[in-house]
A and B are shown apart, each in its own frame.
Chain A
């Protein structure tokens, strides 16, 4: 991208923010002068702003205020609409709007019939118009905070977004006075939010991004190679595992308590149900922090107040099935990427539901101890999962805001982004403890996009001398062995997480699974002669864009060295994600 030409007709100043726009909540963020992403609180002080609009006698309410209108004014309250944008009515699932304004078919799109003016008239308001109003409110909060007019944004979208949805979002934002500089994928934004921290080290790693939201959960397996991200697979769930399913567990629990005492089911009355739903969600959030939480609703049903408490253990027991479904969804995505649980270096928990301690605990059991689980309950330095998407978008906004929109479009075009990725790791043979057996040390991991280069520094035998650098491809295999009473290593956690298997007697021999390298094709050999005692050998491998490989080997600190090239490989198939 080339930055704006100097002396060009002065275009208006661009003030860009990052926006995450979910079905349940939205967030706005900006990048400070020091390059740090910060989430902006709206006038009400909310950083997670419910994606809800409500109308009372022509007045528009937004965010938390609008959400609370779900009790008294549900018919004029529009919620959970993001996934309807850019879709035709026949392809949407209206279930999440059960207790708010219902989506309806309108020409080729989806609309809501609401009383949004002072008059009594029911107006048909398209989902596109609702989105425009929502983004206008978000941009206005950001403008108030920043003290200048926000007129551009990077917005996050789910990995299965369609081209129609992108176009619809871009148009809706434009009508709100916000130019969408770029749409970036939610999991990529989460990875970027972590990588942009000053203390972050760029390393090659496989990352699972689990974005656990309100109405949906989305998993992405990301290969992060030298700071470049490729999505290897995705999985989605709209029915069994997300925030609303956890709310429902508590709603049912409290409803049963209420029925026992009062012989009436609050779930049968719309108003009662709406009240209980809001309170149950608050109880659920409180249970992420404390061991106990209360739930009180004034005049829940038949004028009777309700008040109760629940402890975390009980909640985790009741929600065991839902928690199990999160784990299974993640396992599915790992499998789809042709990877093993042992290949995962990091799990980034994103989205509001990721605050739930039990979900991270289950993942700690699923993955080996070497896998870092980045969530508030497992890592004190974790970033607030609810803010990851918006932060990533803000960082990207700061990177692209000086470029022309056309330039951004060109550089995000598949011509640039579709790239050959290495099928196998490339590495060097070293001597193992068992001198007769060579050991493969990976230098370039598989799924690295080209061009790429990596440098390794290798030890030599104690007295130095002549050594051989044997460059090979390596194939990762999972070795399974049985051992009596061994420690759990990457063994899948049981789905019925309420049973703590530690307490049970393990009668069967424990399975040990480990990652081992099998040597594949030998690519090249280089001889390095006369390495001095205690010396080191530096090996640099470069794979060019055309898949030509260059190898450079030299004694560290020495001059000269050995160079060579390999025949070019071919690109064949398309990857799955």
Chain B
């Protein structure tokens, strides 16, 4: 999908903020819900191909 543009700015980095390689992992995603996706349409086919061949998006892009 195309990138989404946001016009409001990101906050300024607080004074004294520091992290190894500038990245801090803090929390964890909420548990996900199991649902059925509809096996229909071109994007499903791509999804299914990735799942079957255990490929990632970037491998798939190539």
Contact = CB atoms under 8 A, between A and B. Distances in A.
Contacts of A439: 8
B15 to A, nearest CB: 10
A568 B29 CA distance: 7
Interface residues of A, number: 101
A470 interface: yes
Q: Could you tell me the dominant secondary structure of chain A's interface residues?
A: strand
B52 A473 contact: no
A538 B39 CA distance: 32
A202 B4 contact: no
A562 B31 CA distance: 26
Interface string B29-58: 111111111111111110111111000110
B12 to A, nearest CB: 6
Contacts of A412: 39
Nearest to A227: B43
A566 B28 contact: yes
Nearest to B23: A564
B5 interface: yes
A253 to B, nearest CB: 41
B22 to A, nearest CB: 4
Given A460-B10, A537-B10, A575 B33 contact: yes
Contact of B31 (A431, A468, A569, A577): A569
Interface stretch (A257-265, A297-305, A448-456): A448-456
Contact of B43 (A202, A423, A458, A470): A202
Contacts of B41: 188, 192, 195-196, 227-229, 395-396, 399
Interface string A408-427: 00011010111111111010
A456 B6 contact: yes
A50 B12 CA distance: 65
Given A417-B39, A523-B27, A575-B35, A457 B9 contact: no
A229 B41 CA distance: 9
A423 B45 contact: no
Contacts of B8: 430-432, 439, 441, 458-459
Contacts of A185: 38, 40
Interface string A452-485: 0111111111100111111001000000000000
Which among B21, B34, B40 has the highest number of chain A CB atoms within 10 Å? B40
A523 B9 contact: no
B25 A570 contact: no
How many B residues touch the partner, as a band? 35 or more
Given A227-B41, A569-B29, A416 B52 contact: yes
Contacts of A228: 37-38, 41, 43-44, 47
B38 to A, nearest CB: 4
Interface string A215-249: 00000000000111111100000000000000000
A311 interface: no
Given A396-B41, A412-B39, A461 B48 contact: no
Contacts of A470: 11
B1 to A, nearest CB: 5
A16 interface: no
A411 B48 contact: yes
A451 B54 CA distance: 11
Contacts of A142: none
A167 interface: no
Interface in A554-571: 562-571
Nearest to A454: B1
A17 B44 CA distance: 20
B11 A231 contact: no
Given A185-B38, A457-B3, A459-B8, A421 B22 contact: no
Interface stretch (A52-60, A102-110, A324-332, A526-534): A526-534
Given A229-B38, A456-B3, A525-B19, 12 more contacts: A192-B40, A228-B41, A395-B41, A414-B36, A418-B34, A457-B3, A522-B26, A524-B23, A524-B24, A527-B18, A570-B31, A573-B31
Interface of B: 1-14, 17-19, 21-45, 47-52, 56-57
Interface of A: 1, 182, 184-185, 188-189, 192, 195-196, 201-204, 226-232, 392, 395-396, 399, 411-412, 414, 416-424, 426, 428-432, 438-439, 441, 443, 447, 449-451, 453-462, 465-470, 473, 520-529, 537-538, 542-545, 547, 549, 551, 562-575, 577
5 contacts: A192-B41, A430-B10, A457-B4, A457-B6, A569-B30
